[in-house]
Structure 1
Amino acid sequence: MSEDLRWRNFFDVFEEGLQDAPEQEILGQVMDLEGRYQGYSWSDLVMLARRGQAAYRKLGLRRGDRALLALPTGEAFFAALLGAFREGICVAAVAPRENLRTAVTLREVESVRRIYGPDVIVADEGVDGCLHMAPQALLSAEPGNGDWAAPEEVQYVQFSSGSTGTPKGVVLSMNEICANLEMMRQRLSVWGEQRGLSWLPLYHDMGLFGGFLLCTYSMVHVTLMDPTLFVRNPLLWIRQMSERRATNTVTSPSALMATLRLLQLRPQENLDLSSLIRVIVGAEQVTPRLVELYHQVLGPHGAPPEALLPTYGLAEATLAATIPPLNSGLQVLDCIHRQHRLRQHQAVPSDPEDENAETWVACGSPLPGMELKIADQDGTPLPERSIGRVFLKGPSMLRGYLLDGQYHDCLGQWLDTEDLGYLADGHLFLTGRVRDLIIKGGRNFSPERLEDLATTLDGIDRAAAFGIFDPERGTERMVVMAEVHPRWLRNEERRMQLHKQLFQELLAADYPIDELRFVERGNLPRTTSGKLRRQECRSLFLEAEA
């Protein structure tokens, strides 16, 4: 453990809850748009963990084996996750798929299988060549007995993309997970009679660690919603904040932006958001416009102005790396000179009235135990207000990567996040990123994976994928340009059929593209060695839009 940070064993939390208040409700779930509700006590969660543990044992799985979960938010997910934690089985989670048989989805599942090598897939539907367990098998298993796994055992793998965009599995033990939960608990003062609320998916690190497990670790009640309910009616989330007197909630900037705009269009009566203490916003850039809209739309309903907390994190840190100190006042904004940033890589303060002025929102300071430096590509630290790469080191950083089934150790090393930013008065400001990663709706999408999946369909030879930031949405638009065989371009009916099929299959594989443009063969810019020039493709797209 870090000399400056001590954390509890997650499993001790469950044992304490079971011993001190077994029938106390600690978790709830909003089941439908009408607000139907299901509550779970400590004893309920431990029973689900025991059932999950027994189901894994019945399949012959043991400590160190790997399970891949593709389940919606609900008791089957809780049983699968907690049962795996109890038995010492490593878990990874992906979005539940309505149809695991489309060409694009099958290739995506194959990619995850190649990286992670699961021994079992827990989902409604199985995949050829891999052991399958249905959700009902988890819930009907006779509860087993056994101790929780040791905290140093690998317990979770979440998927990330490095500078090349090649998918990698971020390997975490319960030690790294609990270290990050403790870091967040201390910075946010999560305790006692507070109440959490989250709609984020549990296969996303912010939903799992920031929404669900942070509250459970802190022995604070949390209410969860499946993300499909949020998509169908984002205002249900706001209504639940008011009705359940939520103190803590987490979301992405783009989701918050969309919800605020919807609330402007569809005003709600009798909303009381005065209970809010923390509206934790991360996974994307927080813009000054979002800060302004938060105050403008939620302020009249009692939301405290200081509750909005822009944060920074990544899968390799388990979740959070920086969060503003609680009760530190309003959000910190910094006005700098655009040309100095672009040409000299310096964040030089500017008069807001200057035509070259631009404003950035701070995303907090490093969490307790987390080391952060701004450095050049070799790791040499840069002075304050110099723009460089964000490097991180701390007890919640990943153990290593899984890449094509092989483990690569990273424990104790500085991590080059390849995000760009600067420090000013102890605050981190993010200004961009080195890599081409697409960030939409708070989720990271590898352009290489998207390009590879697009070429699964007959008629598409090559593809370029990139993101374009949309200030109105507060997130990136996901764009695909695809080189198409001439016979498809010449025939309008076939072209439209291919266009529709690609849209549908990418969406089914959980790649929500916004725009798809077909071009003739040879029209995507490439280097002399044949490497795709993704930024040049992006420029061509923007020129055509102008």
Structure 2
Amino acid sequence: MEPLDLSSSNPSSGASLVHILDQRARETPDRLAFRFLPDGTSEHVIDWTYRDLADRAEAVAARLHDSGLDSGRVVLALDPGLDYVAGLFGILRAGCTAVPSFPPFGRRAVARFLSIVEDCAPRAVLTHERFSGQVDRFHEQLSGFPERPQWIFPEEEFYLIRPKGGVPLRAVDPALLQYSSGSTGDPKGIVLTHDNLVSNCRVLEGHMGFEEDRIGCSWLPPYHDMGLMGTIMLAVHGGWPLVMMSPVHFVQDPYRWLKAISDHKVTITVGPNFAFDLCATAIGDDELAALDLSTLRQVFCGSEPVSGATLERFRARFEPACGFDVASVIPCYGLAEATLFVSGKPERSSGIRTEWLSKEALERGEVRRTGSQDADKAVGVVSCGVIADGHDVIVVDPESGRPVSPGGVGELWVTGPNVATGYLNRPELTKSTFGARPQGRTDGPEYLRTGDLGFLLDGELFVTGRLKDLIVISGRNLHPQDIETSVLQSHEALRRSAAFSVRSTAHDEEEVVVVAEYRGTGREFAAEMSGLRELVTAAVTTDHGVRPAGIHFGPPGTVLMTTSGKIRRRATRDAYLSGTLKTFPTAPVADQVVVA
């Protein structure tokens, strides 16, 4: 399929994603748009053409229109699947603002769902009938909520009703209100326009190039920026089919992701760093024989700092047995405040670029290449590639606001058409985050302050971590993900780790604390606990020159995570300090730092 000719128009003049879907439904109505695997396998599939999707989206728009909802915000809280896609495009078609969310199921999910509802004050909530009996209880938990939203439950017969004369297609800004995957107590809704959404698709397609036979696959949550803008919207814009499965099915059995790629001859897929790590460790030898990954040409890896060690484990596991080509991997960088995409590995380059840098210099905020790969002296940082076309990234000292000298580490500032307009009802935060200019400049473009640390080298972007997570010990800048890697490499039974600092009352200084998950029973842990503590202490001390002042071991689920697989270090730190982290029932209390 040739790409649509949109050169004579722009999103503001009609080329929004809903207009593009409408055009595809008219020109190629029978072409496959989405294939859903309801049980995570290929034994049962549900196929939707562009006509199927457009019809169901129009049914959603008609219901909103008939309910007097032709503007305002609508929370989309359906299970991952095709109904979610129809709901999204139906909300946009009706001229409303979509607020992607997750079903309010489970204590933590309900709390996050209610925080989003309270913050954005939607006119309606689109969710499953199974929650109809809980609506009153949900409203009781909303403090000072001005008006009860309408609750709409789109069951199967919902889509059979066809509006007489159709529903006018209206793409009205803002298009989307995107909440970050960690939003709970202080949710921030990122305001995205139709221009933002289309711009993100265009720069990604410019980066990927056109391929006639492209087939995608995604298990990512559709309410997360990578799962929504990086797969669902991108597939509709580009006109290629997307195989979808629930994130629950992936987490239950990571083999299902790779099997779907193999079964459907997928050429492009995406996942956060942890997904590749999980596949490399969880998929057994007997399953490798059923996998063919040779069709993959583009494998985007992002959502958190990309680990070279993880990608090497994935390559070693799947290249010899399954035909996986490591050159297909595209480390990338993006964030919801920039719709999604900021940079990615040059698509036609062969390998993954890793720069080995002096650890001592990096701790001072300097970039200095070293020929050594000795963990005592060097750290490997994976390139996130070239900056998106039409965008600019500068590296700035976060305290002074001055651009750093070439070869320096600083906060990454981004400008370009992907960058959102700001945060909902947060004018001061919007101004400080989205309206930044380097010190001394009063004109020129305004930049988005990403809160991420990194540097530019030979025209490529390298991300070293989050500014808020940086551990500063005696004037040295330590990145938590480097410490976490050392922890995990100290023993094969450790599956996930979080590192952070706390201020010790005894020494009146910042000290490092490590939390780690142990794969095994409580009895197995009790037998190994003493040795594990010694191994972790030795690894962190040797690799980073700092001795952990506190180490906490717990079962899987101890380290708190976002829905997109990022480590919630601050939340894990808070739980550590409050004594609420999970632990093994038979284990003695972990070493604890006394804090002020």
* TM-score band, normalised by shorter chain: 0.7 to 0.9
Look up the SS of the partner of 1:417 in the other structure. strand
Matches within 5 A, 1:181-260: 181-260=201-280
Q: Which residue identity does 1:388 align to in structure 2?
A: G
Deviation sequence 1:400-437 (CA, Å, 0-9, x none):
21147999574863011111001111111111211249
Q: Which residue identity does 2:330 align to in structure 1?
A: L
| 2:347 is equivalent to residue 326 of structure 1 | yes
> For residues 326 and 475 of structure 1, do their structure 2 counterparts lie closer, same or farther at Cα, with a shift above 3 Å needed?
farther
Deviation sequence 1:239-289 (CA, Å, 0-9, x none):
111111100001111011101211255532132211111110110111121
Question: Aligned residue for 1:134?
Answer: 153
Deviation sequence 1:102-134 (CA, Å, 0-9, x none):
5x5554333212321111111222332432111
Of residues 83, 87, 90, the one that matches 1:80 is 87
Question: Aligned residue for 2:312?
Answer: 292
> For residues 184 and 475 of structure 1, do their structure 2 counterparts lie closer, same or farther at Cα, with a shift above 3 Å needed?
farther
| 2:422 is equivalent to residue 397 of structure 1 | no
Q: Which residue identity does 2:98 align to in structure 1?
A: V
Deviation sequence 1:192-242 (CA, Å, 0-9, x none):
221000010101110111121111100111111111111221101101111
Deviation sequence 1:437-491 (CA, Å, 0-9, x none):
99xxxxxxxxxxxxxxxxxxxxxxxxxxxx966646886549999xxxxxxxxxx
Question: Aligned residue for 2:48?
Answer: 40
Whose strand fraction is larger, Structure 1's or Structure 2's? 1
Q: Which residue identity does 1:131 align to in structure 2?
A: Q
| 2:59 is equivalent to residue 55 of structure 1 | no
> For residues 69 and 266 of structure 1, do their structure 2 counterparts lie closer, same or farther at Cα, with a shift above 3 Å needed?
farther
Say if 2:276 and 2:311, in contact at 8 Å, map to a contact too.
Answer: no
Question: Aligned residue for 2:333?
Answer: 312
Question: Aligned residue for 2:410?
Answer: 388
Look up the SS of the partner of 2:288 in the other structure. coil
Question: Aligned residue for 1:18?
Answer: 25
Say if 2:300 and 2:332, in contact at 8 Å, map to a contact too.
Answer: yes
Q: Structure 2 CA distance, aligned partners of 1:436 and 1:419?
A: 9
Of residues 110, 120, 127, the one that matches 1:123 is 127
TM-score (normalizing by structure 1): 0.77
Question: Aligned residue for 1:493?
Answer: none
> For residues 436 and 160 of structure 1, do their structure 2 counterparts lie closer, same or farther at Cα, with a shift above 3 Å needed?
farther
For structure 2, which runs of at least 5 residues remain unmatched after alignment? 1-6, 140-147, 436-444, 472-482, 503-553, 581-589
Say if 2:343 and 2:385, in contact at 8 Å, map to a contact too.
Answer: yes
Question: Aligned residue for 2:549?
Answer: none
Say if 2:77 and 2:100, in contact at 8 Å, map to a contact too.
Answer: yes
Q: Structure 2 CA distance, aligned partners of 1:9 and 1:367?
A: 20
Q: Structure 1 CA distance, aligned partners of 2:104 and 2:340?
A: 24
Deviation larger for 122-131 or 367-376 = 122-131
Deviation larger for 68-77 or 323-332 = 68-77
Question: Aligned residue for 2:395?
Answer: 374
Look up the SS of the partner of 1:122 in the other structure. strand
Shift of 1:160: 3.4
Q: Structure 1 CA distance, aligned partners of 2:77 and 2:501?
A: 26
Look up the SS of the partner of 1:95 in the other structure. coil
Q: Which residue identity does 1:311 align to in structure 2?
A: C
Q: Structure 2 CA distance, aligned partners of 1:164 and 1:21?
A: 42
Q: In the comparison of the two structures, how many residue pairs are matched?
A: 470
Say if 1:73 and 1:202, in contact at 8 Å, map to a contact too.
Answer: yes
Q: Structure 1 CA distance, aligned partners of 2:241 and 2:466?
A: 36
Question: Aligned residue for 2:514?
Answer: none
> For residues 510 and 349 of structure 1, do their structure 2 counterparts lie closer, same or farther at Cα, with a shift above 3 Å needed?
closer
Question: Aligned residue for 2:359?
Answer: 338
Look up the SS of the partner of 1:135 in the other structure. coil
For structure 1, which runs of at least 5 residues remain unmatched after alignment? 439-466, 482-499, 525-539
Say if 1:248 and 1:278, in contact at 8 Å, map to a contact too.
Answer: yes
> For residues 120 and 478 of structure 1, do their structure 2 counterparts lie closer, same or farther at Cα, with a shift above 3 Å needed?
farther
Of residues 414, 426, 447, the one that matches 2:447 is 414
Q: Which residue identity does 2:202 align to in structure 1?
A: E
> For residues 305 and 401 of structure 1, do their structure 2 counterparts lie closer, same or farther at Cα, with a shift above 3 Å needed?
same
> For residues 405 and 54 of structure 1, do their structure 2 counterparts lie closer, same or farther at Cα, with a shift above 3 Å needed?
farther
Question: Aligned residue for 2:112?
Answer: 108
Q: Structure 1 CA distance, aligned partners of 2:379 and 2:344?
A: 22
Q: Structure 1 CA distance, aligned partners of 2:366 and 2:183?
A: 23
Say if 1:176 and 1:398, in contact at 8 Å, map to a contact too.
Answer: yes
Tell me how large the CA RMSD over aligned residues is: 3.7
Of residues 36, 52, 68, the one that matches 2:75 is 68
Look up the SS of the partner of 2:86 in the other structure. helix
Q: Structure 2 CA distance, aligned partners of 1:37 and 1:510?
A: 25
Question: Aligned residue for 2:464?
Answer: 431
What percent of counterpart residues are identical? 25
Flag the structure with more relative contact order, 1 or 2, with Cα contacts below 8 A and sequence separation at least 6. Answer: 1
Shift of 1:516: 9.7
Shift of 1:154: 0.6
Of residues 288, 293, 296, the one that matches 1:268 is 288
> For residues 425 and 141 of structure 1, do their structure 2 counterparts lie closer, same or farther at Cα, with a shift above 3 Å needed?
same
Deviation larger for 159-168 or 290-299 = 159-168
Q: Which residue identity does 1:86 align to in structure 2?
A: R
Of residues 167, 176, 179, the one that matches 1:156 is 176
Say if 2:112 and 2:184, in contact at 8 Å, map to a contact too.
Answer: no
Q: Structure 2 CA distance, aligned partners of 1:518 and 1:182?
A: 42
> For residues 414 and 34 of structure 1, do their structure 2 counterparts lie closer, same or farther at Cα, with a shift above 3 Å needed?
closer
Look up the SS of the partner of 2:465 in the other structure. strand
> For residues 121 and 176 of structure 1, do their structure 2 counterparts lie closer, same or farther at Cα, with a shift above 3 Å needed?
same
Look up the SS of the partner of 1:154 in the other structure. coil
> For residues 251 and 508 of structure 1, do their structure 2 counterparts lie closer, same or farther at Cα, with a shift above 3 Å needed?
closer
Deviation sequence 1:381-404 (CA, Å, 0-9, x none):
223320001000000100121147
Q: Which residue identity does 2:417 align to in structure 1?
A: P
Q: Structure 2 CA distance, aligned partners of 1:401 and 1:196?
A: 31
> For residues 38 and 405 of structure 1, do their structure 2 counterparts lie closer, same or farther at Cα, with a shift above 3 Å needed?
farther
Q: Structure 1 CA distance, aligned partners of 2:404 and 2:361?
A: 16
Look up the SS of the partner of 1:149 in the other structure. coil
Q: Which residue identity does 2:297 align to in structure 1?
A: I
Shift of 1:74: 2.2
> For residues 516 and 162 of structure 1, do their structure 2 counterparts lie closer, same or farther at Cα, with a shift above 3 Å needed?
closer
Q: Structure 1 CA distance, aligned partners of 2:183 and 2:396?
A: 16
Q: Structure 2 CA distance, aligned partners of 1:395 and 1:179?
A: 6
